[in-house]
């Protein structure tokens, strides 16, 4: 629940990168709670936000962002929940 509240807060503040992280956490939580459909739904939303970030930041900045260790960890988590 707290991750969902954070997601909504970040969305209102247009902090897309934080919203993306919150969705990744929601996906992981859904999986741990054995709610695989929800985990996949959140992972798909996170993927959509990543695409939006690339458009917003440009390819070079986006690629740099993806090299961060913390971001790679979230990407690894999301990868588990893709169909």
In this prediction, residue 33 carries a pLDDT of 92
Q: Can you read off the two tokens belonging to residue 52? A: 């939006």
Q: Are 25 and 3 in contact (CB under 8 A)?
A: yes
Nearest to 29 by CA among 69, 76, 78, 73: 78
- Cα–Cα distance, 83 to 79 (Å, whole number): 9
pLDDT tens per residue across all 83 residues of the chain: 788 887 776 666 467 888 888 998 999 898 889 999 999 999 999 999 999 889 888 899 999 989 999 899 888 878 877 65
In this prediction, residue 57 carries a pLDDT of 83
In this prediction, residue 40 carries a pLDDT of 92
Name the CA dihedral angle for 52, 54, 58, 61, rounded to a multiple of 10 degrees.
130
- Cα–Cα distance, 40 to 47 (Å, whole number): 10
């Amino acid at each position: 629940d707290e991750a969902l509240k954070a997601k909504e807060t970040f969305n209102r503040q247009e902090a897309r990168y934080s919203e993306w992280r919150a969705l990744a956490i929601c996906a992981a939580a859904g999986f741990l709670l054995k709610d695989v459909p929800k985990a996949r739904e959140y992972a798909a939303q996170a993927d959509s936000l990543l695409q939006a970030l690339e458009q917003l930041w440009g390819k070079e900045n986006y690629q740099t962002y993806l090299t961060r260790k913390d971001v790679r960890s979230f990407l690894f988590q999301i990868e588990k929940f893709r169909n």
